[in-house]
Amino acid sequence: MGDTKVGISLDYETAGQPDVKLAVLAMVGTTVSDGGLLDSALARVLAEQGVLEDSAEHIAMLEYARQASGTSKLEVFDRFFGANGRAEEANRSFERHCDELIGSGSITPIPGAEEAIAKLRGAGIQVCLATGFGRHTQNTLLEKLGWMGLADLSLCPADAGRGRPYPDIILTAVLALDLDDVRSVAVVGDSTADVRSGLTAGAGIVAGVLTGAHDEEALREAGATAVVPSVADIPQLLTGR
C-alpha cells in the first residue's frame, strides 16, 4: 500500500466492551491475495455468457463485481443474470474456474496472515475464516495454502444462509463456537460488505484492512470502528501486543 500511514486506533468508546473472544477474518483481500484470480475467473464466466470482452457491459460488470467484493458471488451473478437459472449456472462455472486458477498457484497469503492467526489463537481468541466462495472452493483454497486446521472454523454463505453484507456468517460462528455475547466478536475485512455485516451482527469491533477491495475512506464511511494497514496489525489492535 505504498507509504500510506494508518493509525491503529479505535473510534468508539471501549469502556464496558467485553474482551474479544472471536475474530472473524475475511479471506480474499484480507488474509489471502488472489493474484487477479477473481477478475480472471469472472472474465471467463462473462465470455461464456456471451458478454463481449471490453464492451461497455463487460467493463461495467467487472467494476460492479469489484465494488461488491466480499458479498456472495451468487448474489453478484443474480444481479447480472437473474432469470432462467443463469445466475446459478454462472456461479457454478465461476467456482470451477476459481478451482482451476487456485490450482495454478495464483493464491498466496497476505504477508503476516498466518502469524497473525497464530498470535490471536495463542492469546485465547478463536478465529473463523469467512468467504463469499462456495464450500468446495473455500476448501480447495484452504488446502492449497496448507491452512486446513489453521483457524478454529471456516464458513461460507452456504453454511450460514446468506453471505455478506448480511450478518449470517458471523452469527453462525457465534453459535458454532458457543459464545454468549456477539459484542465479544471482532470482524476484520477489506470491503464495505465486511464492515456492514459486522455492524449488522452487533460485533464489538469492526476493523478494515487496506490490502484488498476498498480504501480507508470507504471503510470508515461504511462504519469501520478501526482501520489498519493489514491483518498483520490485528493482534496488536485486539490484544495490545
CA distances, 2 to each of 5, 6, 62, 190 (Å)? 9, 11, 25, 16
Is 22 strand, coil or helix?
Answer: strand
Whether residues 91 and 149 share a domain: the answer is no
Buried b (16+ CB within 10 A) or exposed e, 161-182: ebbbbbbbbbbbbbebeebeeb
Whether residues 125 and 161 share a domain: the answer is yes
What is the residue-level pLDDT of the chain in tens, covering all 241 positions?
444 445 444 443 343 456 999 999 999 999 999 888 888 888 898 888 888 888 888 888 888 887 777 677 778 888 888 766 888 888 888 888 888 888 777 789 999 999 999 999 999 999 999 998 888 889 999 999 999 999 999 999 889 988 888 999 999 999 999 999 999 999 999 999 999 999 999 999 999 999 988 999 999 999 999 999 999 999 999 998 6
Whether residues 185 and 210 share a domain: the answer is yes
Average pLDDT, the chain: 87
- Amino acid code (one letter) for 216: E
User: Residue 206 is inside which H or E element, if any?
Assistant: strand 205-209
Whether residues 41 and 29 share a domain: the answer is no
pLDDT tens-digit series, residues 55-74: 888 888 888 887 777 677 77
Tell me the residue range of the domain where 98 lies.
Answer: 37-103
Number of domains in the chain: 2
Q: Given 70, 86, 103, which residue is the final one in a domain?
A: 103
pLDDT tens-digit series, residues 133-169: 888 889 999 999 999 999 999 999 889 988 888 999 9
In a domain, 77, yes or no: yes
In a domain, 215, yes or no: yes
pLDDT of 15: 39
